[in-house]
Every structure is written in structure tokens, then in C-alpha cells.
Structure 1
């Protein structure tokens, strides 16, 4: 009898244990499903965000005309550009979406060719950002340091033993050039001329002096043992497919623009290889609005340099805002350039999800498109610009 009672009790405990196990399995399974569902949801959201990003950048990367006529912001911007008589190509990014990318006016008035998303413009001083990026790649590779002294590469430059690469990138080196060369046959000759014609300013207060970046281009050539143009093409065109044209290729490109000194197209500029040859590392490259925006996004997304290098590159000296080809502010970055017949302007948020890029082939004395670019940026972001 006791044995039967023991068996009955054991059976009850066994059934109860089995029941508890089943309940725990169900609860655990449900928890696992819930956790997995949450994880899947996060992954899906991340993929959706990435897809949206790719969609937003696709038109820019492919240099496609874009005008979202159902987007009120795009319509308003288009109206303002037309009202201002803007000539060039405009790219507007709003909430991570390219809402407008199209041309205004003529790329070549004589041939009645209009500007469009594929039009190539000289980017002038915006090229300094690319030179700085190449420098930071060497820093990341351990071949240079921001504290490396200029004297290591150009010992004959006055004060070079007290000038660092960082100071040249932020234009606080105290260096200036007292004469510009115009007979250089190679990039090496051009930079050698610059190095031989540098003077010291009275202080190392910030001063916009392009010679800083020509010397940086010279350092790149010494470190890599190849021309600046070769290195530039390898990194930005072969690796990142930005289709940037140096001046010689710009002249023969079907999408090149003619530069004008008056908005009525009455004063076209003449091709001037000598002028652009002396701009090694500082302003002799041409590109489209879409590819220029793609470049900045590659930087922001840490595709070209890592996060640490980007932060170092975009950190100005205390009390200043300029570094690496851009002016850096709390909520946005902006850049501007001028060269005969061309005026590029960029303004974008720190994450690049809102941007205004105006590349113009008209540089008229006493008139600039930069205020228009900043006005449009403020209107789409509510961020005030200086």
C-alpha cells in the first residue's frame, strides 16, 4: 500500500514538474520570440534607414536631375533660385532626401547648352578639403602626424622648424607667399617655387594663405613618391568613383561649363592652363554638385577616414572656425571658393542630412551667390548662419 502511495505521489510530482517545464518553455519561447522580434525590428529599422539614405543619395551619386514638385520646400527653393537669377547647378538635401538637383541658366551660352545635374564646375578653394583628407589618410596610416614639422620636408622655408601640419591645415602657420609662379611645368616645380617664395607674417594669427595647402600637396608628393594628381585620382576617382576632373580633362569633358564674369554671358573667361597649373592642391579640380555632396557624406559616414581623424581634421584652432577647407560651426559647416568665372558654395549640417550646394559658372564683380546659399539653408533648417 505504501509503495502504491509513493508511486502515486511520484507520478503527481512528475506530472507537476512536466507542467512547470512546459509553462517555462512556453514563457521562455515567448520571451525569445519577443526579444528576437525586437531585434528583428531594430535591424529592419536600420535597414530601412539605410535604404532611405541610399535612395536619398542615389540621384546625387548618379548626377540625375531631381525636382520633387510635390515637395513644398523644393518648389519654394526653385522659385527663389529663379527669382535671384541664379546661374549654375543647385543641390538641396532636406531630411536626408535630395529634393532638388538641377541646373539654371547656361553652361555654354554660345552653344545654347543649359546647366544640369551633370554639369562640371571648378570647385576652386573647396579642393583644400580634399588635400586635407589626403593628409589625414597618411596620418591614419602612421606616415605623418599633425605635429610633424614642416622643416622635415621643407627645411629652407623660413620658420619651418616651428610650423606643424596642423597649423597649415588651420591656416595659423604664419606663412604667406609674396609672389605667385606662372611658369611651372610640373606640380613639383610649382610647389618648389612656392617653397622658395614664402615669407613670415608678424604672427601666427589666422590668415587665409593658400600657400599652406600647396606645401601640404608637396608633402604628400614626398611621402608617397608620386604626383599630387596621381594620388588624388587614385583615391577619389578609382576608390570612391567621384569622377573629379583635373583641369586638362575638364577642358575636353562634354559636360564642362564655360565660366562667365557677367550674368548676361557677355564676358566669358578664356581657358587658362597656366592659371590653374599653379593651384596645386588648392583649386584646379572640377566636379558635379552630386559628387561633391557624396564626398562630404563619405567623410561624415567615416568611409574615407575614421572618426578620430575626421574629428581632428575638422577641429579649428581655439577661437577660430577654419580647418581643412571648411568653416566649422556648432550646427553646420560651410565652404566657399572663387576662381575666374566660378563660385562654389556649400552649407551642410553636421550629419549631412540637410545641405545646400550651389556651383556656379558666373563670378561677377561685386556679386556673390554665397548669401543666397546661406539664406536657403536657414529656410530649410531654421539654423542661423554667420
Structure 2
């Protein structure tokens, strides 16, 4: 009897510690939501079991439709991992292999006779990214693009480098893989997604959308914070992101997808090992996320103002996914906080200190740079410092330290001096002076 009581006491103690850990994670996300830094959803999965699943903020701010654990979000480039799995399945079915040439399907694309499925999967083709490398397409992301139009567009690009010589991320690669899936199966990408992954992994809220966002179906819009309120971001046309980034899902589903992938429910172990092969930082739609001595496998995604990440740590069978539809804080910093708390590591909550308006007034004005062909206008609004670059939307700056402000979603840091500031972004520095 004494042993039973001792066992029950120990079990209760373990559950209490775990619950306290999840309460702290909930407190962090609630704190960010309260400060208009975050809206979205988090799921943590231990093997097949979901141990934390909660949403924050709104799916539709205007209609005040609160998000819940079943709210569905666009997952952006996490879609690439789904696409890669389907390609690996087709290889297991002997319908193609890693050395199959792109010329078998699209001979008019430059270097098609040199580009292999391996190159497409690893972003080693030299094909221009039709979204980030083509300003014309970027301006037309809100209209329908047919498959033929996209193939023709990709066929006109001048190669950036010889296939196989280096890695450069390009959405074009994964659109082509999606088209190849359709060609080989004679079924749509949406149908393949349902039969090849959704049914096999027992997903319940994952699909390729056929129409615009519909909150009546539990789908969410995406938002950015303009300094005063959440502002809805216009939707892209689904044919643009397509197999490179248009899938809709939930945090619970994408963690289940990763569990199914690593548990052998979708592809053979040998195929999984091929997907895990990292070359210049990228596998076959899998990347590694280091956290201390741990190495998570997964992918990130971003479309409109949605930001998503999913990671899986095989040793512990731990899956974690964060989806953001209110983008006003660095997603990576949020994940570091979540994992730090989960693994009982120290993590101080960020502070969002308001600067006195008289101090903010010292920074306001229009700034120019000899290094960039833009002006940046800084103004004060409701106690926040607001920045707006030439031809771009305004965005709020968050106080970080003395004379330093940041805009976390874009990785921008601005360090002020008298009548000037240094803008840091992506490892680059630009000097601005006040007009």
C-alpha cells in the first residue's frame, strides 16, 4: 500500500511540473497577445499525443471571430515538405528517380537536360524564384495564373548558375515538382495531397484551398499591426503559391504529419534518410533547427502575413508547430521562448517599454541615405514611433534599448544618433541622415 501511495505521489508531482511548464508557455503567448505582438496557434505533440494545443487572438479581427485550436492557417513553405514527400512516394513507385531530368517533362526550360529531381528538391537548379526574383510576378500575385502560364514564365528566365553547383532557394522548383506530380498521376495536386498524405496520416484539417479564405469554415485571415490596430493583409491567388506554399492546415495536423513521416507511415525509412540529407543547409524540404544539443527537423513558412514553423525531434518524438496570423514579433524569438520554457531553461519575458513622446519627437523626421534610393519618414503616433519607407506601408518600431528600436517581423534594427541612424537588416548596415 505504501508503494502505491508513493507511486501516485510521484506521478502527481511529474504531472504538476509538466502542467506548470505549459502554464508558463501559455503565459508567454498570452502576454505577447495582450501587447499586440502575436496572434496564432501553438501545438506540442509527444508522439501521437497532443500535450498542448491553444490558439490566441482572432481569425477575423473585424468580425471579432476568436481563433481556437481548430482554426486553420496558411502554412506557406511548409507545403514544400508535403510536396517532397509525394515526390519520394512516386520514386518508391518507380515512376521517377533522383536523377530523372526535368527535360522529361519540360524540355523548354533552360538547362532542363541538366536539372535533376535531386536538384529541384534541394533548390540547386539555378532557376529564378518567380516570386522573389521576378518583379512582374510579384506585382500580380492576386490574379489567377494557369499552369501553362507559369511554365512559360519559368521557361523565359535566364539561369542564375549551372545546375548542381550551389543552393539558392526558389519557389519555382517546388511549383515544377507539383506539376510533375499531377503529370505522373493524372490527378490534381489537391487530390494527391488527400490520398497520399491526409488519409495515410489521419489528418483532419489539411487541404489545398480551391477558393478564398472563408472564416465560416474555420479559416483565418492574416494581419500586421500598424501601430494602432491589426490590419488585414490581402490574399494571394492560390495558383501562385501552389505546391510551394498554398496548403492550409492546423498546428495539430502539421505536427501529426511530421510524426507520421518519421514513424514510417508515409515513406520508407530509406526515403526518409534521403530527405534528411542536408546539403548547404537544406535537405529535401527538410532543414535542421538546432536548440542546444538537440536537432529538430522541419521547415518554416511565410505567405501574406502568415508565419509558420514545424519541428520534430526524433530522439524524443517531440513535434512542435507555431502558426502566426498576427505578425508583429519575430517568430524565431517566440519559438526560442517556448522551447526554453519547455526544457526548463531561463527565459525572461520581453519588455515593451513605451518611450516618452517628448523623447520620440527627437527621432521624428524624414531621413535619406546615400546607400539606398529610398527615404524613411519617422513619426509619432499614440506613443509609438512609426516608420514608413518610400512606396511601402507604415510599420511600428519597438523600443529595445537606449536609442535602439526594432521591427522584429522584418529583422530591422535602427540605432539612432543625433540627426541620423544606422539601419541593420540581414547582416547589412545602411546609414541614414535627417533632411
Task: Using structure 1 for the length normalisation, give the TM-score.
Answer: 0.73
Q: 1:262 to 1:248 in 2, by over 3 A?
A: farther
Pick 1 or 2: higher relative contact order, CA cutoff 8 A, min separation 6. 1
Relative to structure 1, the CA distance from residue 288 to residue 352 in structure 2 (aligned partners, 3 Å threshold; closer, same or farther) is farther
Shift of 1:248: 2.8
- Report what 1:323 is aligned to: 283
Which deviates more, 84-93 or 293-302? 84-93
Distance 2:340 2:117 in 1: 34
Further displaced range: 192-201 or 286-295: 192-201
In the alignment, which of 190, 197, 200 is matched to residue 159 of structure 2?
A: 200
Instruction: List gaps (5 residues or longer) in structure 2.
Output: 1-14, 346-435
Matches within 5 A, 1:96-115: 97-115=49-67
Q: Which moved more, 1:106-115 or 1:180-189?
A: 180-189
1:303 is paired with a residue whose SS is coil
Counterpart mapping for 1:205-284 below 5 A: 205-242=166-203, 243-248=205-210, 251-252=213-214, 253-262=216-225, 265-272=229-236, 274=237, 276-284=238-246
Secondary structure (helix, strand or coil) at the match of 2:242 reads coil
Task: Give the counterpart of 1:77 among 20, 25, 41.
Answer: 25
Q: Secondary structure at the match of 1:251?
A: coil
| Distance change >3 Å, CA 377–CA 334, structure 1 → 2 | farther
Who is 1:303 aligned against?
A: 265
Q: CA–CA distance in 2 between the matches of 1:70 and 1:213? A: 40
In the alignment, the residues of structure 2 paired with residue 289 and residue 100 of structure 1 have an alpha-carbon distance, to the nearest angstrom, of: 10
1:70 to 1:234, Cα distance in 2 relative to 1, 3 A? closer
Whole-Å Cα distance in 2 between the matches of residues 260 and 68 of structure 1? 36
Does structure 1 conserve the Cα–Cα contact (< 8 Å) formed by 2:88 and 2:267? yes
Would the aligned equivalents of 2:127 and 2:154 in 1 still touch at CA under 8 Å? no
Separation in 1, partners of 2:45, 2:252: 10
CA RMSD, Structure 1 to Structure 2 (Å): 2.7
Q: TM-score scaled by structure 2?
A: 0.65
Corresponding residue number in structure 1 for 2:312: 348
In structure 2, what is the Cα distance between the partners aligned to 1:72 and 1:360?
Answer: 24
Give the Cα–Cα distance (whole angstroms) in 2 for the partners of residues 237 and 95 of structure 1.
18
CA gap 1:70/1:232 in 2 versus in 1, 3 angstroms: closer
Aligned-partner Cα distance in 2 for 1:68–1:97: 18
Contact 1:171–1:323 (CA under 8 A) maintained in structure 2: no
Q: Where in structure 1 do 4 or more consecutive aligned residues deviate above 4 Å?
A: 67-70, 94-97, 181-187
- Aligned residue pairs, count: 311
Judge conservation of contact 1:356–1:373 (CA < 8 Å) in 2: no
- 8 Å Cα contact 1:356-1:376 kept in structure 2: no
Q: Residues 68, 93 of structure 1: CA spacing in aligned structure 2 closer, same or farther, 3 A cutoff?
A: farther
C-alpha contact 1:347 1:377 (8 A) present in aligned 2: no
Q: Once structures 1 and 2 are overlaid, which stretch shifts more, 194-203 or 210-219? A: 194-203
| Structure richer in strand, relative to its length | 2
Q: Give the direction of change, closer, same or farther, for the CA distance of 1:233–1:377 in structure 2 (3 Å limit).
A: same
For residue 142 of structure 1, what is the aligned residue in structure 2?
94
Residue in 2 that maps onto 1:19: none
Q: More displaced, 251-260 or 241-250?
A: 241-250
- The higher radius of gyration belongs to 1
Aligned partners of 1:240, 1:296: CA distance in 2, in Å? 9
Q: Are 1:327 and 1:333, in contact at CA under 8 Å, matched by a contact in 2?
A: yes
Give the 3-state SS of the residue equivalent to 2:224 in structure 1: coil
Contact 2:206 2:247 in 1 (8 A): yes
User: Is the contact between residue 212 and residue 235 of structure 2 (CA under 8 Å) also seen in structure 1?
Assistant: no
Q: Give the distance between the partners of 2:285 and 2:241, measured in 1 at CA.
A: 14
Deviates more, 1:263-272 or 1:197-206: 263-272
1:256 shift after superposition: 0.8
Deviations 1:7-35 (A, max 9, x none): xxxxxxxxxxxxxxxxxxxxxxxxxxxxx
